[in-house]
Amino acid sequence: MSASFPVARPRRLRRTPALRRLVAETRLAPADLVLPMFVKEGIGEPNPVSSMPGVYQHTRDSLRKAAHEAAEAGVGGIMLFGIPAVKDGTGVAADDPDGIVQVALRDLHSDIGDAIVLMADLCLCEYTDHGHCGIVTPAGEVDNDATLERYAAIAGAQAAAGAAVVAPSGMMDGQVGAIRAALDRAGHPETSVLAYSAKYASAFYGPFREAAEGAPQFGDRSTHQQDPANADESLREVLLDLDEGADMVMVKPAGAYLDVVRRVRDAVDVPVAAYQVSGEFAMIEAAAEKGWLDRERAINESLIAIRRAGADIILTYWAVEVARSLQAANR
Ligand code: PBG
């Protein structure tokens, strides 16, 4: 064998940490991360979510503090979820100007409104006593068009309270168009819409339903959320949302749908977000707690994979921790 064989030696560029850093194709930055946060009405102390270590249902005060820390860490945005003290059939607290999300948005807007992008999840499941994402008919079905009217009202309330971005997550047909029209009508043409366009009926939302107290009391979400078997359908949903005026689109969950993230990234010219959901978070936390994998490495790998698949924006419950370690690494 000649001394110069093989000619191509990809290992040359993997030799040292400095070389590997130089040739890295994909990087994470704090500004691309969005932290989902929960705020609950009427509690005296923050409530730890047992299936999500380090995640809390916040009080108004603890939310302000935690949001400030996220801004300090350079995190790009916050996605806010509200849990009202009282739930009912139509989710009246969702668009009440004094409802918990609106109150919290006003707090955050006055504290840090310019330092971080304030996003509000726009859905009814946290606000309804039946836990469904919309208005339920006497037959127990989610009524698409009646729900759109509720979403339109919620969008106006969230925008008025200071949300820079509203993020409809209910997977109703026509939701982006209804919300865009309502925002424009209500004098909020500047408020943007991040559409949860390709949202799957996923088992990986399990821990979230404890965090947001939004588990359906009967039935499931498979008549509106997408079947995990389908990917072409995601493109259809994304293109419909862009036609209806979405400014950004999302794929959710992220880890099990990286093919969908890539296809959406290649198909559109708007920012693409991916949501690393509660179950993705809980799996790594639980395995790490058992000593079965290296927690930090698994977190970083899970996030770089989402980035490599093409996500511009990543929603992750690890946003602050990861942003801080990125800041420290760049110091
Ligand atoms: C609906 C909503 C859900 C999540 C975000 N928005 C739950 C669902 O659709 O059942 C899940 C997020 C997560 O699991 O981290 N408002």
> In the structure encoding, which two tokens stand for residue 255, read together?
């880890």
Q: What separation in angstroms does the CA of 328 have from each of 30, 74, 76, 310, 323?
A: 11, 12, 17, 25, 9
Interface predicted TM-score (ipTM) over 0.90? yes
Q: What separation in angstroms does the CA of 9 have from each of 3, 13, 14, 19, 89?
A: 13, 8, 10, 14, 64
Q: Does residue 6 have a cis peptide bond before it, meaning omega lies within 30 degrees of 0?
A: yes
pLDDT at 83: 96
> In the structure encoding, which two tokens stand for residue 17, read together?
């940490």
Q: Rounded CA gap, 233 and 199, in Å?
A: 11
Model confidence over 23-47: pLDDT tens digits? 999 999 999 999 999 999 999 999 9
User: How far, in Å, is the centroid of ligand 1 from the Cα of 133?
Assistant: 10
Q: What percent of the chain has pLDDT over 90?
A: 93
Pairing verdict, β 192-199 and 165-168: parallel
Decide: 120 in ligand 1 pocket, CB within 6 A: no
Q: Is 133 annotated as a binding residue?
A: yes
Instruction: Report all structural domains of the chain as residue ranges with CATH numbers, in order of start.
Output: 28-329 (3.20.20.70)
Q: Is 278 annotated as a binding residue?
A: yes
pLDDT at 216: 87
Q: Which amino acids are annotated catalytic?
A: 199, 252
Q: Is the pLDDT of residue 9 over 60?
A: yes
Model confidence over 158-217: pLDDT tens digits? 999 999 999 999 999 999 999 999 999 999 999 999 999 999 999 999 999 888 888 888
Torsion sign over Cα 286, 288, 293, 298: positive
Name residue, tokens 């309270």. Answer: 161
pLDDT at 1: 55
Quote the DSSP letter at residue 227: P
Decide: 208 in ligand 1 pocket, CB within 6 A: yes
Nearest protein Cα to ligand 1, atom 8 = 205
Q: Is 151 annotated as a binding residue?
A: no
pLDDT at 121: 98
Decide: 172 in ligand 1 pocket, CB within 6 A: no
Stretch 120-133: mean pLDDT: 95
289, burial (CB in 10 Å: exposed 0-12, middle 13-18, buried 19+): exposed
pLDDT at 215: 86
User: How far, in Å, is the centroid of ligand 1 from the Cα of 85?
Assistant: 19
Q: Rounded CA gap, 78 and 92, in Å?
A: 23
pLDDT at 113: 87
Nearest protein Cα to ligand 1, atom 14 = 205
> What is the chain's Cα-based Rg?
21
Decide: 277 in ligand 1 pocket, CB within 6 A: yes
Name residue, tokens 């969008």. Answer: 155
Decide: 151 in ligand 1 pocket, CB within 6 A: no
Question: In 3D, which of 200, 180, 205, 202 has the Cα closest to residue 81?
Answer: 205
Stretch 232-242: mean pLDDT: 98
Stretch 7-22: mean pLDDT: 96
- By most ligand atoms within 8 Å of CB, the mutation choice from 123, 166, 205 for ligand 1 is 205
Stretch 153-158: mean pLDDT: 98
Q: Rounded CA gap, 76 and 178, in Å?
A: 27
Q: Is 21 annotated as a binding residue?
A: no
pLDDT at 219: 87
Stretch 108-135: mean pLDDT: 95
